Structure 1
């Protein structure tokens, strides 16, 4: 349903009963293309978004309405200045719903408050604001006269020379500020890139050494501290004694050595027993008479 509503809001939905021969979709539905903005179009009024051209005081509650505040205003033509139309804008303030009417002034290229408000007058010192005074309306019209410009050309050049140091100084400050920002940003980014490359190299070196952490770069202080370390002579003597004891000891443990010795003793006892039994049997056989087979065999040999 939401997608259908969005399509109808954009005038992309055409109902089944619509026929192109009946005209546009707005004409078929009996509505204006501007919808609610054109509800008073028969009276010559169109609803628009009007932006306040200057600061004003509200006539109903004396509340200040700042420049740039937007209103839903009724726009209508109230006259002509030669061939230029004069438009009137009627709106209601948001603070007290007081009606404010403002018209265009094509003659002076300005807006004029007709009713419901009062323009806020703001005076300031030209030197404090560091601005230039604009020429009056009478002098502004004379600027199109070449003879008037020629008469005031020398004075204008003098004013330009007086104001040139200030303008040059402001321009120089602005340029140096932008250049300084760019140079600082460039130096910072270059330093960050160098640091990233250094970190990658240190991690790669640690990985080649089989370490899971990144080693800090060597420094002269660390090298001097390591070179200043001196081990006591007792440490060397102890290490030599331990090494000699290791070389002199058996590679087998005590339990395995004792077991091996017991097995050797048992085998030696069995061997002696067998030899003794064989010797006694041999002596006993010589005392008995030989059979004729043994005698024949002995003689044959």
Structure 2
């Protein structure tokens, strides 16, 4: 018996002794459990097989030489042999594949119990109960609820007071700034999934774009520029309120604007605002809308 074999056997014995010592440190009733006995047997088998395989292949590396027909291709003088795939590897792969099919479809079916599935079912049931309880909530309740949602989900980017953290995100105290309106006029917009689709870029240019931006950013008060009628009213309506939800409301944070933003997300200075369609319920969306509207008021 060579030194390598002695070391391997010693390592295996050490693993087995350590395993037995850990199990013995547990409650003695555990040792009578069948699953514990199977686990112990598996641990001993793994330790023994690991030692045997290591000895076999280390000795083989020391003594074997490569042989067979070389492929014509080589890389910097390093070629490959046209050896057949080792049958042991192929059979092991096939056995693993068959076992995985059995485990996934029969041994542990895909529709079997899972803690994640149970959690999701509980969340769905709770949300349903929540919706039923608060479906007729008054405005004060919705505002209070909306503030709680805002502080958890929105304040990190928009600030606790909705000020947008000095221009890093949307400032809810105002609908849009002139710079924001100009950016949309010049570059178009298609993030929110409105029925009328994408607003094309360059719908107005030069002075016309400037006067439209100033008019919209000012809350659409005062005399309406003639350029607005030609460039914007066809989609947003003469009053700028979005033609009944067909396009964004330019005047206020109405339910449609909030819903489309929460459903689709929106790219901003801080990065991409994620979609919240799976994170909040319809009542919570309504509550958040009421709270954001209160910030702009």
The TM-score normalised by the length of structure 2 is: 0.21
Whose helix fraction is larger, Structure 1's or Structure 2's?
Answer: 2
Whose strand fraction is larger, Structure 1's or Structure 2's?
Answer: 1
Which protein, 1 or 2, shows the higher relative CO under an 8 Å CA cutoff with sep ≥ 6? 2
The TM-score normalised by the length of structure 1 is: 0.20
Task: Kindly name which structure, 1 or 2, has the bigger radius of gyration based on alpha carbons.
Answer: 1
